[in-house]
C-alpha cells in the first residue's frame, strides 16, 4: 500500500497521517440539485427524505473512514477519521443496519490471519467492513489503473509512458478488485438495501452489482472531474466499459454541471442509451439512469466554530509571532500533479521579480501533504517543486526573510485551522480539481471575513464561489495578477466577497449533500420510468380497489407474510409483533369467509401453522415447497429432501469454523445464518461454502440464494410463482390482490395477469402496480375489503 516515508497512507482523495485524517471530503445544495429535487420531481422529494432510513444503506469507497496502521512494535493502531465524508454520512453510519465497505489502509500481506480477523472485528464496532487487498493488487489497481491512468486522464493531464505500457495489467487488476468489492457487498447485505458507491476506483462496481441484484437501489458519486468527451473517448482504451459500469447505477452524481454534461456527451458518443438532456437522464432498454450534480460541501460548523477553540487560538498566537505582520499567502494541497504546485511557486517567483515592493512584506506558506508516494510521477513532482522553492528562497531570501515556508507534511486540524485564520490570501489554483474543499474551509474558518480567495476557474468550487478572484491556471500571468489584486484589495471589498461566499458554503454543507444524494437515489430507483409506482397508495386508489373488490364475483388475496413481518422484526418488540399477527389473523379469518386467501412465506410449515393454522386459507411454506389447502390438515410436499444430509455435513463443518453462525434445517431447505458471526469468518467461509456446495447443487438441482447475512440452499424451480400459476389455473378470479416485497415477489408480480392488483411493500424498484410503505398499511387495506361487505362472494 502507498505508505510514505513518514508513515502516512495516501488515499485516493486524501491522506491520513499520525492518527489524523488529512483528507476531508464534504458537500451541498446547489441550484441544480434543488431543481432536480423540487421542480422536476416535485413533492416526492420531500416525502422520500422522511422515509429514507427504512432501507439499509451500504456505503462503498476505496478507503474506509477508519484506518489501520501497524506500529514498529507490531501493534495494530485502529483510528477513525474525522473527514468530511465520514461526518456527512455519520447520521447514516451510526445505525448498525448500515455498513461502510472499503479498504482499511494496510496491505493484507503485512497481516497474519489473526490480525485480519482482529481488524475486521474492531472495524465492525464502527459499522465498517474491510476489503483486504494485497500489495500487488494495490500496486496495479490503486497506484496503477486508478492513479496512473484514470486520475491524470480525468484531470486532463498526460499519462506517463510507463503507466501506458502497463495499462493492460493495471486494467485486469482494476476489474478484479472491483469484483472483490462486489463479493463483499453481496456477502454482507441483503437485496433490500441501497448501495452508494464512491469514486473513480470503483467505476465497474455499479454494473457488476446490477447484474447480481437487478432490483437494488444503486448510487454512484464521482469526486473528481469527468473529462470532455473527446479526451475520454480518444484516450481511454476501456472507456466504454467504464461508462457501462456507471450505467449500472440508478443515480450517477457529479460535483458540477459541466462534468454531468461531459458524461452525457460520452454516453451519447458511445450510443449507450437515449440521452434526455432536459431531465438529465439516460433511458436504457429496461430502465432509466438519473444523472445530477451534487456539489460537495464541508462540515461548515466545525470550521466556523474552530476560531473559538483555545487550542486553535494558541496555534494562531504562535503563527502570528512567527510571521510578524507579514501578509501570508497560503496553499494547502496533497502533492499531486493536478494541483499545479510548481505553477503556483513559479507565479509567486514572478510576483517577487516584477514587484520588488512586496519583497520582505509577504510570505508564501506552502503546506504540501504527502500523497501516492510510490508513484514515479509524484516522486518527480516533489523533486521539481522543492528545487523551485529552494531557488526562490536563494534568489530573494534575506537574513530576516524567507519568501517561501515549505512544509511537506500533514498538520493537525488545529494548526491547519490557525493557518486558515491567519492567511490574508488563499492561493488555490489547481490545474483541475473536482471541487476543492480547501477553498471552502478557508472561507468558513474566517469569522471576520478578512481574507481573499484566489481560485482557479478549473476547480469545481469556482462554479459556486464566483466572488473569488478567479484565475486561469493555463495562463500564468493571470495567477500573478490575481495575487496582486488579492494583496491590494481594500478590506471593504474582500469582506463583502467573503461574506457572500460564506453564506453559500453555510447553506450547502456536507450534511445537505449526503441527504440530497440519498433522497435523489430513492426517487431515481422508485421512478415511474423504471415502471415503479413512486408514492404510497392514495385514497383514490384504495377506494377504487375497494369498489373493484365489491363488484367482483370471485376474489383472491395472495399475501407474502414475510413482507409484512420482516420490517416489523427490525423495529418492534415481540409483544407488538404478536399483536400485529393476531390482528392479521383475525382480518384474514373474516376475509376468507367470502374470498380465497393464500398466505405464502419462506419460513417453515410450523411457523405458518402456528400463526394461521386455524384459518380456512391456503398456506404455502418454504417458498412454495409445501402447500396446505383450505380445510385440509395435511401438507403437500413438492420435493424430496434426500439431498439435505449431503449438504448439511458441509454446512455444519463451516458453521463450526464460524462461531456465531448456525444452520437452520427446514423441511425442504437449509439456511446458513451468519448475522451473529464475525464478518471476517463469515465472508471467508461463505466463499468456501459456495465453492464446495456449487457442484453438489448442480447435481441435485438446487439453488443457492444469497439473503441478508444468510445463504439458503433449496430446490430449484418451485417458488411462490408456481403456486400462483397453479391457483390461476384452478380457478377463475375477477379480482386478484397480490402483496409482496422481495426479488422473488417481482417474478410473482409478473406472473399474474395484468388486471391483478400487485402491491409492493417498501422502497425499491418494482413491477408492482401499487405501493405501500409500511406493514400497517397492508392491514388497513385488508380492513377495507372486510367492511365492504361483498355480496357476490363465492368461496372456492
Ligand atoms: C478529492 C478531489 C474534491 C489538507 N492538508 C491537511 C488537511 N487537508 C485536508 C483539507 C481538505 C482535504 O485535505 C483535501 O481536499 P480537497 O478537496 O482539497 O482535495 P482532494 O484530496 O484531492 O479530494 C477534490 C474532494 O475529493 C471531495 O470530493 O473536492 O476535488 O480531488 O479537507 O482540509 N487536513 C489536515 N491537515 C493537513 O495538513 N488536518
pLDDT in tens, 627-680: 899 988 898 877 666 888 999 999 999 999 999 999 999 877 899 999 999 999
CB neighbour class for 317 (10 Å; exposed up to 12, middle 13-18, buried from 19): exposed
Is 560 a catalytic site residue? yes
pLDDT at 568 over 80: no
Residue 794: Cβ within 10 Å count: 14
**What's the CATH code, domain 20-293?**
3.40.50.2000
Mean pLDDT across the stretch 111-127? 93
pLDDT in tens, 331-384: 999 999 999 999 999 999 999 999 999 999 999 999 999 999 999 999 999 999
CA of 722 from ligand 1 middle (Å) equals 55
Pairing of strands 20-21, 56-63: unpaired
Residues 230 and 223 sit within 8 Å (Cβ to Cβ): no
CB of 10 closer than 6 angstroms to any ligand 1 atom: no
Instruction: Give residue 459's Cα distance to chain centre.
Output: 23
CB of 744 closer than 6 angstroms to any ligand 1 atom: no
Residue ID of nearest Cα to ligand 1 atom 30? 434
What is the Cα–Cα distance from 69 to 15, expressed in whole angstroms? 13
Q: What is the predicted pLDDT for the residue at 36?
A: 29
Q: How many residues does the chain have?
A: 796
Residue 120: pLDDT band (50, 70, 90) is very high
Q: What is the predicted pLDDT for the residue at 572?
A: 74
CA of 334 from ligand 1 middle (Å) equals 7
Ligand 1 atom at minimal distance to the Cα of residue 11: 21
pLDDT at 39 over 90: no
CA of 262 from ligand 1 middle (Å) equals 24
Mean pLDDT across the stretch 168-182? 97
The DSSP call for residue 3 is B
3-class DSSP state for residue 780? helix
Ligand 1 atom at minimal distance to the Cα of residue 460: 30
What is the Cα–Cα distance from 596 to 717, expressed in whole angstroms? 25
Residues 441 and 419 sit within 8 Å (Cβ to Cβ): no
Residue 657: Cβ within 10 Å count: 14
CA of 369 from ligand 1 middle (Å) equals 9
Ligand 1 atom at minimal distance to the Cα of residue 23: 13
Q: What are phi and psi of 726, to 5 degrees?
A: -65, -40
Domain limits, CATH 3.40.50.2000, in the chain: 20-293, 301-508
More confident residue, 628 or 729: 628
Residues 239 and 251 sit within 8 Å (Cβ to Cβ): no
Phi-psi region of 436 (alpha: psi -120 to 50; beta: other; left: phi over 0): left
CB of 146 closer than 6 angstroms to any ligand 1 atom: no
Q: What is the predicted pLDDT for the residue at 318?
A: 96
Q: What are phi and psi of 77, to 5 degrees?
A: -105, 120
Nearby residues of 384 by Cβ (< 8 Å), 6 or more positions away:
342
More confident residue, 496 or 25: 496
Residue ID of nearest Cα to ligand 1 atom 20? 13
pLDDT at 49 over 80: no
Ligand 1 atom at minimal distance to the Cα of residue 438: 18
Supply 738's cell numbers.
397480490
Residues 325 and 362 sit within 8 Å (Cβ to Cβ): no
CB of 437 closer than 6 angstroms to any ligand 1 atom: yes
Domain limits, CATH 3.40.50.1000, in the chain: 531-638+718-786
Instruction: Give residue 693's Cα distance to chain centre.
Output: 32
CB of 222 closer than 6 angstroms to any ligand 1 atom: no
What is the Cα–Cα distance from 355 to 365, expressed in whole angstroms? 19
Supply 484's cell numbers.
496582486
Nearby residues of 586 by Cβ (< 8 Å), 6 or more positions away:
none
Nearby residues of 519 by Cβ (< 8 Å), 6 or more positions away:
37, 45, 48, 49, 52
pLDDT in tens, 666-722: 877 899 999 999 999 999 999 899 999 999 998 888 889 888 889 999 887 656 666
CB of 14 closer than 6 angstroms to any ligand 1 atom: yes
Supply 465's cell numbers.
464561489
Q: What is the predicted pLDDT for the residue at 405?
A: 98
CB of 433 closer than 6 angstroms to any ligand 1 atom: yes
Mean pLDDT across the stretch 741-766? 78
Architecture of domain 301-508: 3-Layer(aba) Sandwich (3.40)
pLDDT in tens, 591-618: 999 899 999 888 889 999 999 999 999 9
pLDDT in tens, 440-468: 999 999 988 889 999 999 999 999 999 99
CB of 155 closer than 6 angstroms to any ligand 1 atom: no
Q: Which of 437, 444, 465, 517 to mutate to test the pocket of ligand 1 (most atoms within 8 A of CB)?
A: 437
CA of 612 from ligand 1 middle (Å) equals 58
Residues 770 and 779 sit within 8 Å (Cβ to Cβ): no
Pairing of strands 596-600, 555-560: parallel
CB of 461 closer than 6 angstroms to any ligand 1 atom: no
pLDDT at 734 over 70: yes
CB of 20 closer than 6 angstroms to any ligand 1 atom: yes
CB of 87 closer than 6 angstroms to any ligand 1 atom: no
CA of 23 from ligand 1 middle (Å) equals 4
- Is domain 531-638+718-786 classified as CATH 3.40.50.1000? yes
- Least confident range of 38-47, 496-505, 640-649, 783-792: 38-47
Supply 595's cell numbers.
374470498
Supply 472's cell numbers.
486561469
CA of 652 from ligand 1 middle (Å) equals 48
CA of 387 from ligand 1 middle (Å) equals 24
Residues 348 and 483 sit within 8 Å (Cβ to Cβ): yes
- Least confident range of 48-52, 393-397, 648-652: 48-52
Identify the helix (H) or strand (E) that includes residue 364. strand 362-369
pLDDT in tens, 466-481: 999 999 999 999 999 9
Please tell me which residue in 199, 424, 433, 560 is annotated as part of the active site. Answer: 560
CB of 138 closer than 6 angstroms to any ligand 1 atom: no
Ligand 1 atom at minimal distance to the Cα of residue 369: 5
pLDDT in tens, 286-324: 789 999 999 999 999 999 999 999 999 999 999 999 998
Residues 406 and 309 sit within 8 Å (Cβ to Cβ): no
Residues 223 and 13 sit within 8 Å (Cβ to Cβ): yes
Supply 547's cell numbers.
369498489
Helix runs in 471-538, H state only: 476-488, 491-507, 510-525
CB of 369 closer than 6 angstroms to any ligand 1 atom: yes
Nearby residues of 507 by Cβ (< 8 Å), 6 or more positions away:
29
Q: Where are the beta strands (DSSP E) in 208-326?
A: 217-221, 251-254, 274-276, 281-283, 288-293
Q: What is the predicted pLDDT for the residue at 84?
A: 64
Q: What is the predicted pLDDT for the residue at 529?
A: 63
Supply 69's cell numbers.
496502521
pLDDT above 70 covers a percentage of the chain that reads: 87
The CA-CA-CA angle for residues 2, 5, 9, to 5°, reads 35
Residues 139 and 414 sit within 8 Å (Cβ to Cβ): no
Residue 624: pLDDT band (50, 70, 90) is confident
Nearby residues of 787 by Cβ (< 8 Å), 6 or more positions away:
none
What is the Cα–Cα distance from 399 to 319, expressed in whole angstroms? 19
Mean pLDDT across the stretch 254-268? 97
CA of 11 from ligand 1 middle (Å) equals 10
- Is domain 644-715 classified as CATH 3.40.50.2000? no
CB of 365 closer than 6 angstroms to any ligand 1 atom: no
For the whole model, what pTM was predicted? 0.82
CB of 410 closer than 6 angstroms to any ligand 1 atom: yes
What is the Cα–Cα distance from 280 to 100, expressed in whole angstroms? 29
CA of 14 from ligand 1 middle (Å) equals 6
Instruction: Give residue 121's Cα distance to chain centre.
Output: 22
What is the Cα–Cα distance from 496 to 149, expressed in whole angstroms? 42
Ligand 1 atom at minimal distance to the Cα of residue 20: 39
Distance between first and last Cα of the chain = 67
Q: What is the predicted pLDDT for the residue at 396?
A: 98
Residue ID of nearest Cα to ligand 1 atom 35? 22
Residue 1: pLDDT band (50, 70, 90) is very low
3-class DSSP state for residue 659? coil
Q: What are phi and psi of 369, to 5 degrees?
A: -95, 130
Q: Which of 9, 10, 14 to mutate to test the pocket of ligand 1 (most atoms within 8 A of CB)?
A: 14
Q: What is the predicted pLDDT for the residue at 417?
A: 96
Average pLDDT over the chain, rounded to an integer:
86
Amino acid at each position: 500500500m502507498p505508505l510514505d516515508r513518514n508513515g502516512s497512507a495516501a488515499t485516493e482523495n486524501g491522506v491520513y497521517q499520525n492518527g489524523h485524517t488529512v483528507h476531508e471530503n464534504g458537500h451541498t445544495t446547489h441550484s441544480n440539485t434543488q431543481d432536480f429535487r423540487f421542480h422536476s420531481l416535485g413533492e416526492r422529494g420531500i416525502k422520500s427524505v422522511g422515509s429514507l432510513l427504512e432501507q439499509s444503506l451500504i456505503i462503498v469507497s476505496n478507503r474506509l473512514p477508519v484506518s489501520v496502521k501497524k506500529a514498529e512494535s507490531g501493534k495494530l493502531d485502529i483510528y477513525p477519521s474525522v473527514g468530511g465524508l465520514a461526518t456527512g454520512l455519520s447520521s447514516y453510519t451510526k445505525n448498525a443496519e448500515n455498513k461502510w465497505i472499503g479498504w482499511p489502509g494496510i496491505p493484507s500481506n503485512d497481516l497474519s490471519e489473526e490480525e485480519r480477523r482482529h481488524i475486521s472485528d474492531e472495524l465492525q464496532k464502527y459499522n465498517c467492513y474491510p476489503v483486504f487487498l494485497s500489495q500487488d493488487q494495490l500496486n496495479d489497481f490503486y497506484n496503477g489503473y486508478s492513479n496512473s491512468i484514470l486520475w491524470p486522464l480525468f484531470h486532463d493531464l498526460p499519462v506517463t509512458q510507463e503507466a501506458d505500457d502497463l495499462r493492460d495489467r493495471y486494467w485486469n487488476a482494476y476489474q478484479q478488485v472491483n469484483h472483490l468489492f462486489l463479493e463483499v457487498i453481496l456477502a454482507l447485505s441483503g437485496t433490500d438495501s441501497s448501495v452508494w458507491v464512491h469514486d473513480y476506483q470503483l467505476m465497474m462496481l455499479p454494473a457488476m452489482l446490477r447484474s447480481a441484484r437487478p432490483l437494488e437501489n444503486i448510487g454512484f458519486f464521482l469526486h473528481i472531474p469527468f473529462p470532455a468527451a473527446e479526451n475520454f473517448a480518444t484516450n481511454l482504451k476501456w472507456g466504454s466499459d467504464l461508462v457501462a459500469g456507471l450505467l449500472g447505477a440508478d443515480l450517477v452524481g457529479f460535483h458540477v454541471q459541466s462534468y454531468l454534461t461531459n458524461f452525457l456527451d460520452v454516453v451519447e458518443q458511445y450510443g449507450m442509451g437515449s440521452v434526455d438532456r432536459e431531465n438529465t437522464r439516460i433511458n436504457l432498454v429496461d430502465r432509466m439512469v438519473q444523472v445530477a450534480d451534487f456539489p460537495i460541501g464541508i462540515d461548515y460548523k466545525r470550521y466556523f466554530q474552530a476560531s473559538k477553540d483555545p487550542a486553535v487560538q494558541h496555534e494562531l498566537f504562535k503563527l502570528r509571532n512567527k510571521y510578524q505582520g507579514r501578509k501570508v499567502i497560503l496553499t494547502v494541497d496533497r502533492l499531486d500533479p493536478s494541483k499545479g504546485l510548481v505553477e503556483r511557486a513559479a507565479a509567486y517567483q514572478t510576483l517577487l521579480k516584477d514587484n520588488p515592493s512586496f519583497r520582505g512584506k509577504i510570505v508564501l506558506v506552502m503546506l504540501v501533504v504527502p500523497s501516492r508516494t510510490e508513484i514515479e510521477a509524484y516522486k518527480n513532482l516533489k523533486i521539481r517543486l522543492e528545487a523551485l522553492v529552494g531557488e526562490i528562497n536563494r534568489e530573494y531570501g534575506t537574513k530576516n526573510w524567507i519568501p517561501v515556508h515549505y512544509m511537506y507534511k500533514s498538520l493537525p486540524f488545529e494548526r491547519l485551522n490557525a493557518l486558515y485564520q491567519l492567511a490574508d490570501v488563499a492561493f488555490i489554483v489547481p490545474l483541475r480539481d473536482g471541487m476543492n474543499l480547501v477553498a471552502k474551509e478557508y472561507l468558513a474558518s474566517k469569522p471576520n471575513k478578512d481574507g481573499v480567495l484566489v481560485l482557479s476557474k478549473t476547480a469545481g468550487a469556482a462554479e459556486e464561489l464566483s466572488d473569488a478572484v478567479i484565475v486561469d491556471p493555463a495562463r500564468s500571468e493571470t495567477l500573478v495578477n490575481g495575487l496582486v489584486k488579492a494583496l491590494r484589495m481594500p478590506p471593504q471589498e474582500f469582506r463583502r466577497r467573503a461574506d457572500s461566499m460564506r453564506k453559500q458554503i453555510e447553506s450547502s454543507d456536507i450534511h445537505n449533500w449526503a441527504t440530497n444524494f440519498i433522497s435523489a437515489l430513492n426517487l431515481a430507483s422508485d421512478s415511474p420510468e423504471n415502471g415503479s409506482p413512486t408514492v404510497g397508495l392514495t385514497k383514490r386508489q384504495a377506494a377504487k380497489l375497494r369498489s373493484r373488490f365489491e363488484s367482483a364475483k370471485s376474489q383472491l388475496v395472495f399475501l407474502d407474510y414475510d413482507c409484512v413481518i420482516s420490517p416489523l422484526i427490525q423495529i418492534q418488540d415481540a409483544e407488538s409483533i404478536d399483536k400485529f399477527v393476531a390482528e392479521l389473523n383475525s382480518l384474514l379469518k373474516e376475509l376468507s369467509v367470502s374470498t380465497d386467501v393464500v398466505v405464502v412465506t419462506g419460513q417453515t410449515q410450523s411457523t405458518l401453522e402456528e400463526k394461521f393454522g386455524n384459518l380456512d386459507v391456503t398456506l404455502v411454506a418454504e417458498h412454495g415447497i409445501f402447500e396446505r389447502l383450505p380445510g385440509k390438515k395435511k401438507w403437500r410436499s413438492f420435493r424430496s429432501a434426500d439431498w439435505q444430509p449431503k449438504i448439511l455435513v458441509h454446512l455444519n463443518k463451516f458453521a463450526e469454523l464460524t462461531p456465531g453462525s448456525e444452520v437452520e434445517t427446514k423441511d425442504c431447505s437449509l439456511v446458513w445464518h451468519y448475522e451473529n458471526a464475525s464478518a471476517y469468518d463469515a465472508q471467508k467461509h461463505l466463499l468456501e461454502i459456495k465453492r464446495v456446495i456449487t457442484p453438489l447443487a448442480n447435481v441435485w438441482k438446487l439453488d443457492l440464494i444469497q439473503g441478508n447475512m444468510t445463504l439458503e440452499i433449496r430446490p430449484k424451480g418451485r417458488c411462490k410463482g408456481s403456486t400462483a400459476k397453479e391457483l390461476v389455473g384452478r380457478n377463475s378470479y375477477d379480482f386478484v390482490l397480490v402483496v409482496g416485497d422481495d426479488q422473488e415477489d417481482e417474478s410473482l408480480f409478473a406472473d399474474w395477469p395484468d388486471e391483478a392488483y400487485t402491491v409492493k411493500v417498501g422502497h425499491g424498484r418494482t413491477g408492482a402496480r401499487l405501493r405501500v410503505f409500511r406493514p400497517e398499511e397492508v392491514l388497513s387495506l385488508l380492513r377495507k375489503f372486510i367492511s365492504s361487505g361483498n355480496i357476490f362472494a363465492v368461496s372456492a
